A and B are shown apart, each in its own frame.
Chain A
């Protein structure tokens, strides 16, 4: 387990949050949820047919009292949640479609999180990332100013020695295929907020390119230049700069040569933003394979509340770790919005 995840678990235990699990029928999810409760990481809420879930607890020798249940088979409770969700000011979908959709535990769980009855919706072991993202986008909604969901990951670079830092956050390596300048700005803003929520540190965010400060002039570099302007307009409170090549962003000696102006980010970025998914996906694999640096994530971001996705091949341990990260983020989000 990386030091980063160990830290997340320790922090989560100080501020456990209510986590909705719409896939509690899956044994890995059920066992991971039980572990989260036992270790004080989260308060798990299993969403679905309570009687069936309790039967599964007996079969699996798991204490059902470990969990709270959001029983979608309880018609009165189900109707109450639908009506409360319909009463939300931003709900624009028609009642019939919502009611039909919320019969699916994934959508019901998202509604609980949108209502504040839970703080996180955690899914992905049976649902695809696309399903989770779509349900999150429709039911929970996106954070103010954010145009699309994205993801953030973390390299544990403590052992690599290239720069005096333990963590480097990166986005987006999983969701946005070919972001426009505006979408790239949203990715940067979301990554900064998630980084701050997870680490408590001030993000210094570099928008990456094959160009540093106009060293190349073409459409690819121009997209990043426009993204920078957009991000600064969106969130002037954040420290975001570019466009930088990776070495200009994270190596002080290279930044000193290539960046001929004041920059709070050049040479000391702790968050880097890839210009597109090809770059992001390949870069992460290069770091993992050739740099032997572990990477944690990707973690979904950009929603109004925390929506988390796990790999369909996730182990119980993977799920527990991911839930811990989600809990830390949810607690920080509440703090940020006070």
Chain B
């Protein structure tokens, strides 16, 4: 999957998990906006595997600063 293909899928997944409007999330959105507590990011990461079948190591996803970083990680580990 390319970045352009991955980004909307990931944003849609995050929006569903966090009960947010997907149009309010972009690649520039800080991770802290969608996951104010670190453990929420772990839960999102678990859903990325469950839905997209991509396993991202926890420590790498915890270092992501923006949603774009998470998209790139998903691409790197697909």
Tell me whether A and B are bound partners.
yes
List chain A positions with a Cβ less than 8 A from chain B. Answer: 92-94, 96-97, 99-101, 103-104, 106-107, 131, 134-135, 137-138
Judged by a CB distance under 8 angstroms, whether B46 is at the interface is yes
Mask for B47-72, Cβ within 8 A of A = 1, else 0?
A: 00110011111110010000000000
Whether A100 and B56, one on each chain, are in contact in the complex, defined by CB atoms closer than 8 angstroms, is yes
Q: Taking A100-B77, A134-B38, A138-B42 as contacts, is the C-beta distance between A94 and B50 under 8 angstroms?
A: yes
User: Chain B: residues with CB nearer than 8 A to chain A?
Assistant: 38-39, 42, 45-46, 49-50, 53-59, 62, 77
Q: What residues of chain A lie closer than 8 Å to B54, measured between beta carbons?
A: 96
Q: How far is the CA of A101 from the CA of B53 in the complex (A)?
A: 15
With A100-B77, A138-B42 known, 19 other A-B pairs at CB within 8 A are A93-B42, A94-B49, A94-B55, A96-B49, A96-B54, A97-B45, A97-B46, A97-B56, A97-B57, A97-B58, A101-B59, A107-B57, A107-B58, A131-B59, A134-B58, A134-B62, A137-B39, A138-B39, A138-B58
The 9 residue pairs across chains A and B that have the minimum distance between CB atoms: A96-B55, A100-B55, A101-B58, A100-B57, A101-B57, A94-B49, A97-B55, A97-B49, A96-B49
In the assembled complex, the Cα of A26 lies from the Cα of B54 at a distance in Å of 31
Q: A93-B42, A134-B38 given as contacts; is B49 within 8 A of A104 (CB)?
A: no
Q: How far is the CB of B34 from chain A (nearest CB, A)?
A: 17
Chain A residues near B38: list those with CB within 8 A: 134
A175 CB to closest chain B CB (Å) equals: 13
Main secondary structure of the interface of A (DSSP, over half): helix
Cα–Cα distance between A106 and B50 once the two chains are bound (Å): 24
CA A103 to CA B59, docked complex, whole Å: 11
Instruction: Looking at the assembled complex, report how far the CB atom of B9 sits from the nearest CB atom of chain A, in whole angstroms.
Output: 17
B58: chain A residues within 8 A (beta carbon): 97, 101, 107, 134-135, 138
Q: How many Å from the CB of B44 to the closest CB on chain A? A: 11
25 A-B residue pairs with CB within 8 Å: A93-B46, A94-B49, A94-B50, A94-B55, A97-B46, A97-B49, A97-B58, A99-B55, A100-B55, A100-B57, A101-B57, A101-B58, A101-B59, A104-B59, A106-B59, A107-B59, A134-B38, A134-B58, A134-B59, A134-B62, A135-B58, A137-B39, A138-B39, A138-B42, A138-B58
* A131 partner residues in chain B, CB cutoff 8 A: 59, 62
* Complex Cα gap A96–B78 (Å): 11
